[in-house]
Amino acid sequence: MTKRTKGLIAGIVVCVAAVTLALLLSPFSPALRRQVRNAFDRVGIDLRSGTGAQEASAPDRLPALPAEGWLNGGPLDADSLRGSIVVLAVFSDTHPTALEALPQLEAWHEAYARFGVRIVGVHAPEFAFATQPEVLDRLAARLGLSFPIVRDPSLQVLAALHSRDDEVQVVVADAEGRVRAIRSLENVGNDLAGVESTVRALIAARHPEIPFPEAPAAAASASGPAVRTLRLGASSVLEGPLRGAVVGKAQPFTAQFRFEVEGAPYVPYPVPRPEGLEASKGGAAQFVAIRYDAARVGVVASPPPVGASRLWILRDEAWLTPDALGEDARLDSRGASYVDVDASRLYRVTRGTGEHVLKLSPEDGGLTLHALTFEPRAGPPPDP
């Protein structure tokens, strides 16, 4: 038996064990589904076809949509969408790119509906809390979304697109349901401009009698770094001081943490949970600290069971200045910076360029941090 064959057999055994564990522990956990899918990917197994394949080809037709869990209309299927140009956006409520893209898609919904364009959203949650219906309801209300969106807690649409749940996918299909473009959004402005050009070309082909000006061309730019997400749940950590943490028991972590960014001394006595770090108690002595270099930093957080709580923010051991406040951050009368964590979602906490150390300190025990997000600079770093 060759080494290659032995390696493939070993990989398949690991994958079967991962599937069995996922079925026994939590068939509805996005984190466990992600681990199983990653295990298959490492040995080149395609979950959809059952064959060994490093990459799967993109679908040529729109994927089937869930029949239940619709918001703002629906259900929609291939028959009800036939005859329309369809823009299908698959997103997570906790991905920063989605928060940038969804308002633009709402603008398309308002501008292009009269030309037979249907904007359809698919909510693919990254965390178990996001499978609750009210999470999507709150997101749609906060962003003013009125186009139809379906909840997809089983991630069936992402699987059909052969995509990951840490990406924002936009698919364009013509009136016959044929896929004409698939784009994974990184640079939202340029990527959506390219998608819009495809949409406008399809409109012009269907309505040659309508004088329809061409969309401005997307600016040419090299692909920059993608948004980085540092998950803090015990079920998602593959390396660093949280690896092997005892779930449900308060314990200290003081080792250096590296995950795309440099880590400062970590967390004193949190309670590791499968999908986050729960504060064992509140106070300045309880914190998460990390060194980073990004344009914007966000935190996916959940309030304590008793209700809303504050998460205090320090950057380089000082309160944030007004120009460094993220969209969700505020200053109190003393000039102290914080976010009010009143629901499970992504909070933008700070912005600005350069290397800094961020420290997040919960006011109350029970506040849970699920992930940190780091949005890159739009351009290259400045010269030293």
**pLDDT of 251-308, one tens digit each?**
555 544 443 344 433 444 456 667 788 888 888 878 888 888 999 999 999 999 989 9
Which secondary structure element, helix H or strand E, spans residue 201, and what is its range? helix 188-206
Single-letter code of the amino acid located at 140: A
Give the residue, 311 or 167, on which the prediction is more confident.
311
The 10s digit of each residue's pLDDT in 147-156 is 999 999 999 9
The total number of structural domains in the chain stands at 3
**Is 60 inside a domain boundary?**
no
CB atoms within 10 A of CB 224: 13
Which DSSP category does 232 fall into?
A: -
Q: How does DSSP assign 86-120, residue by residue?
A: EEEEEE-TT-HHHHHHHHHHHHHHHHHGGGTEEEE
The 10s digit of each residue's pLDDT in 97-108 is 999 999 999 999
Is pLDDT above 80 for 24?
A: no
Distance CA 60, CA 62 (A): 7
Question: Could you list the residue range(s) of the whole structural domain that residue 167 is in?
Answer: 70-206
Direct distance between the N- and C-terminal alpha carbons of the chain, in angstroms, rounded to an integer: 55
**Is 213 inside a domain boundary?**
no
Is pLDDT above 90 for 211?
A: no
Q: Is residue 116 within 8 Å of 211, Cβ to Cβ?
A: no
**Is 247 inside a domain boundary?**
yes
**Is 53 inside a domain boundary?**
no
Beta 169-173 vs 85-91: how paired, if at all?
A: antiparallel
Identify the CATH number of the domain in which residue 275 sits: 2.60.120.260
Q: Note whether 38 and 109 are same-domain residues.
A: no
Is pLDDT above 60 for 15?
A: no
Q: Note whether 233 and 311 are same-domain residues.
A: yes
Peptide bond connecting 75 to the previous residue in cis, omega within 30 degrees of 0? yes
Q: Return the closest-CA partner of residue 129 out of 115, 142, 139.
A: 139
**Is 34 inside a domain boundary?**
yes
Q: Note whether 245 and 139 are same-domain residues.
A: no
Q: Is residue 157 helix, strand or coil?
A: helix
Task: Kindly report the average pLDDT of the chain as a whole number.
Answer: 76
Q: Tell me, what's the pLDDT at 354?
A: 86
Across residues 225-250, what is the average pLDDT? 65
Q: Note whether 238 and 195 are same-domain residues.
A: no
Is pLDDT above 60 for 180?
A: yes
Q: Is residue 102 within 8 Å of 108, Cβ to Cβ?
A: no
Q: Note whether 294 and 157 are same-domain residues.
A: no
Single-letter code of the amino acid located at 234: A
Q: Note whether 366 and 234 are same-domain residues.
A: yes
**Is 36 inside a domain boundary?**
yes
Is pLDDT above 60 for 92?
A: yes
Q: Note whether 118 and 34 are same-domain residues.
A: no
Distance CA 361, CA 138 (A): 25
Q: Tell me, what's the pLDDT at 59?
A: 75
pLDDT band at 41 (very low <50, low <70, confident <90, very high): very low
Q: Tell me, what's the pLDDT at 190?
A: 75
Q: Tell me, what's the pLDDT at 104?
A: 93
**Is 88 inside a domain boundary?**
yes
Question: What pTM was estimated for this model as a whole?
Answer: 0.76
Q: Is residue 306 helix, strand or coil?
A: coil
Q: How far from 53 is each of 12, 49, 227, 267, 343, CA to CA, in Å?
A: 13, 9, 27, 40, 41
Q: Note whether 359 and 241 are same-domain residues.
A: yes
**Is 127 inside a domain boundary?**
yes
CB atoms within 10 A of CB 104: 16
Q: Is residue 78 within 8 Å of 169, Cβ to Cβ?
A: no
Q: Tell me, what's the pLDDT at 166?
A: 63
Q: Tell me, what's the pLDDT at 165?
A: 59
Q: Tell me, what's the pLDDT at 278?
A: 86
Please, which residues have CB within 8 angstroms of residue 148's CB and are 6 or more apart in sequence? 70, 71, 72, 73, 74, 76, 118, 119, 120, 121
Q: Note whether 242 and 370 are same-domain residues.
A: yes
The 10s digit of each residue's pLDDT in 44-70 is 323 233 333 333 466 788 899 999 999
Q: Note whether 23 and 119 are same-domain residues.
A: no
Choose the weakest-confidence range: 72-81, 201-210, 303-312: 201-210
Q: Tell me, what's the pLDDT at 270?
A: 59
Choose the weakest-confidence range: 160-169, 290-299, 317-326: 160-169
Is pLDDT above 70 for 215?
A: no
Distance CA 371, CA 30 (A): 14
Q: Is residue 258 within 8 Å of 225, Cβ to Cβ?
A: no
Distance CA 46, CA 38 (A): 11
Is pLDDT above 50 for 25?
A: no
